[in-house]
């Protein structure tokens, strides 16, 4: 394995950790601000990645994607525990929507920040700056992919949660009841999308966003 490959793997692992751990912490932090201290009480607002690692989403999926030569990596951390009833009691359905979209907001903000910093390290002048450049590049791509993926209105992704709470806020009770019936089948729908050509359509916004934020 070449030095460049080792650097790229290390940069990718660090980028995944920063993206997925921060994503989950933001869910818990916003929930805490609206009166639900469940995540804080269970130590899940910590930046220690060990408490957030999901064996499949944080380890297995990124390794499989990297080994298969996928054009991008993504993964997820262990979801933070949130009592949405407390959140809704503290801030209404608007608060529940904010909690649902907190991780996506973090990923998009981080991607824009990393894209702004990226030109400062190009071209790399040393092994250290090469690592930083690779980390920033992977971070921009990964955070945009995560944001787009989680916006899909498919249970149990964040987009589906935000849509459900928005519908509840608008008192579209019939829609909410029908939508909730999809939840047992959400993972099957996701797998069907991810492993078929239709995934290209669902991930198309990734290219649009990267075109906007990258210099």
Mean pLDDT, contiguous 10-residue spans, the chain (215 residues)? 81 89 95 93 86 79 72 74 94 96 97 96 91 95 94 94 96 93 90 86 94 89
pLDDT, residue 89, reads 94
Q: What is the pLDDT of residue 71?
A: 63
59 contacts 105 by C-beta, under 8 angstroms: no
Which pair of tokens denotes residue 67? 């080994």
pLDDT of the residue at 101? 98
What confidence score (pLDDT) does residue 6 get? 85
Cβ–Cβ < 8 Å for 81, 38: yes
Q: Tokens 């935000």 label which residue?
A: 162
d(CA 24, CA 50): 13
Q: Give me the count of residues in the chain.
A: 215
Confirm if 51 and 43 have CB atoms less than 8 A apart.
Answer: yes
- Predicted local distance difference test score (pLDDT) of residue 51: 83
């Amino acid at each position: 394995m070449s030095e460049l490959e080792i650097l790229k793997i290390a940069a990718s692992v660090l980028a995944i950790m920063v993206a997925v751990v921060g994503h989950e912490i933001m869910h818990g932090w916003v929930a805490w601000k609206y009166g639900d201290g469940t995540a804080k009480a269970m130590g899940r607002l910590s930046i220690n990645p060990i408490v957030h690692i999901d064996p499949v989403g944080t380890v297995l999926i990124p390794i499989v994607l990297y080994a298969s030569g996928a054009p991008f990596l993504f993964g997820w951390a262990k979801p933070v525990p949130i009592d949405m009833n407390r959140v809704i009691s503290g801030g209404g359905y608007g608060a529940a929507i904010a909690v649902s979209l907190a991780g996506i907001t973090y990923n998009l903000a981080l991607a824009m920040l990393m894209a702004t910093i990226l030109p400062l390290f190009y071209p790399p002048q040393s092994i250290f700056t090469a690592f930083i450049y690779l980390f920033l590049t992977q971070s921009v791509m990964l955070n945009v992919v995560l944001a787009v993926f989680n916006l899909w209105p498919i249970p149990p992704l964040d987009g589906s949660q935000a849509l459900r709470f928005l519908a509840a806020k608008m008192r579209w009770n019939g829609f909410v009841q029908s939508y909730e019936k999809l939840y047992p089948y959400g993972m099957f729908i996701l797998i069907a999308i991810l492993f078929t050509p239709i995934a290209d359509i669902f991930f198309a916004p990734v290219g649009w966003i990267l075109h906007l934020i990258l210099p």
